[in-house]
């Protein structure tokens, strides 16, 4: 049994004992097996989120979109994203699911904002972004080789300012809508 499996087993055992100890003195019935299974699942999810949190701090900043960044961190932490991501409510955008996960692993709002801006630049305006980056001395495309790779957060933010200045009104509206989803999360 490896350390992760032992950790999950210990978390589940502790949750189960906690539940049983808090209900033992009450006149309530013993928790059902279904309830205990949900508690074990929650403990496993919490353990996975702790691993992701640690991996985010080790990884530091990387000029990637929010989904790509969190996927990369999860890969290095050996965490399956399906174990920690909850589906968005009906009518929510895909960004809200990724924002929620980023917040759950302790990412700062400004860092999440920068990764969201990268996501919009990657998805909405790849052609425009590549043209702007080529004029500023960077070459390559977001999907093939990251022209912002190796830059600091402030350098990436400055490059995004240049790119965003070229956005169409529709792209600007989409960027603003995406960033507006970040506000309620914090």
Specify the 3-state DSSP secondary structure of 164.
Answer: helix
- Give me 39's structure tokens: 């508690």
Q: Strand, helix or coil at 138? A: coil
Q: For all residues of the chain together, what is the average pLDDT?
A: 81
Neighbouring CB atoms inside 10 A of 161's CB total 10
Q: Where residue 6 falls among pLDDT bands split at 50, 70, 90?
A: low
The full set of domain ranges for the chain reads: 3-185
Shortest CA distance to 118 belongs to which of 129, 109, 107, 108? Answer: 129
Sign for the CA dihedral angle at 178, 72, 50, 35 comes to: positive
pLDDT in tens, 137-163: 544 434 445 778 889 999 999 999 999
Task: Indicate the DSSP class of residue 182.
Answer: H
In the numeric block, the tokens 């990369």 are attached to 72
């Amino acid at each position: 049994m490896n350390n992760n499996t032992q950790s999950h087993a210990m978390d589940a055992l502790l949750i189960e004992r906690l539940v049983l100890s808090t209900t033992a003195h009450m006149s309530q019935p013993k928790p059902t097996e279904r309830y205990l299974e949900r508690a074990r699942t929650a403990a496993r999810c919490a353990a996975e989120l702790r691993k992701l949190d640690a991996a985010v701090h080790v990884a530091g900043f990387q000029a990637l979109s929010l989904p790509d960044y969190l996927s990369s961190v999860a890969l290095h932490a050996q965490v399956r994203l399906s174990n920690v991501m909850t589906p968005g409510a009906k009518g929510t955008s895909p960004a809200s699911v990724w924002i929620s996960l980023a917040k759950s692993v302790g990412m700062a709002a400004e860092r999440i904002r920068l990764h969201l801006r990268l996501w919009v630049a990657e998805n909405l305006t790849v052609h425009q972004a590549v043209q702007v980056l080529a004029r500023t001395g960077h070459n390559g495309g977001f999907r093939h080789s990251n022209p912002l790779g190796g830059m600091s957060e402030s350098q990436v933010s400055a490059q995004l300012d240049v790119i965003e200045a070229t956005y169409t009104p529709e792209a600007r509206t989409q960027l603003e809508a995406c960033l507006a989803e970040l506000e309620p999360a914090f």
